[in-house]
A and B are shown apart, each in its own frame.
Chain A
Amino acid sequence: QQQVKQSPQSLIVQKGGISIINCAYENTAFDYFPWYQQFPGKGPALLIAIRPDVSEKKEGRFTISFNKSAKQFSLHIMDSQPGDSATYFCAASNSGGSNYKLTFGKGTLLTVNP
């Protein structure tokens, strides 16, 4: 019930291409879905987040698509750049509960080749 399944585990994209990372969740109480980006030697940083009242959210080259019925959400990185090479974690939480815990996916290592 608390799992968030993330795929792929690793992804190699050419510069200028589109990177797509997918996540699926089981707990229907989840209603907040952030994506974190982590560079080597750094802590994770919030990239973009979505609530289930919208099906898509775009910030610059980063877009989250959300499918509530399928319990899936995905991150699209348009015009991928070498500087986007990092590990990406999707996460989910229940904003209505007393549990402040973010449930993270296992992460995707993205490599963007020049």
Chain B
Amino acid sequence: DTEVTQTPKHLVMGMTNKKSLKCEQHMGHRAMYWYKQKAKKPPELMFVYSYEKLSINESVPSRFSPECPNSSLLNLHLHALQPEDSALYLCASSQVSLAVDTQYFGPGTRLTVL
């Protein structure tokens, strides 16, 4: 099973709300990623977790807060977002965090910030 699941599929939130995105994989992968994708653009890396530890933060604003409770779960906590944060948020996982490891992407959460 090469599936990465993400919930919710769609999320609409106001700028003062607090919400969380959830990602789950059961492939035994030890690296998990958050990407942001704007329409008609490539995915942009936000965070990388390797063995449940944050290894890369691509200078993401603090209103995005990642969390990796265990090797199968990855959360992205959202607070005080801006309308320009509206995008498709993709989670991915790979065997480990080597550059040549295949990254398996989830279907994404479509986020709209009002």
Contacts and interface: CB of A to CB of B under 8 A. Distances in A.
- State the main secondary structure of chain B at its contact with A: loop
A60 interface: no
Interface residues of B, number: 25
Contacts, number: 59
Interface of A: 32, 34, 41-46, 49, 51, 87, 89, 93-95, 97, 99-102, 104-107, 109
Interface string B88-111: 001010000111101111111000
Contact of B107 (A41, A87, A89, A95): A41
A94 B92 CA distance: 19
- State the main secondary structure of chain A at its contact with B: loop
Given A89-B42, A100-B56, A46 B103 contact: yes
Nearest to A46: B102
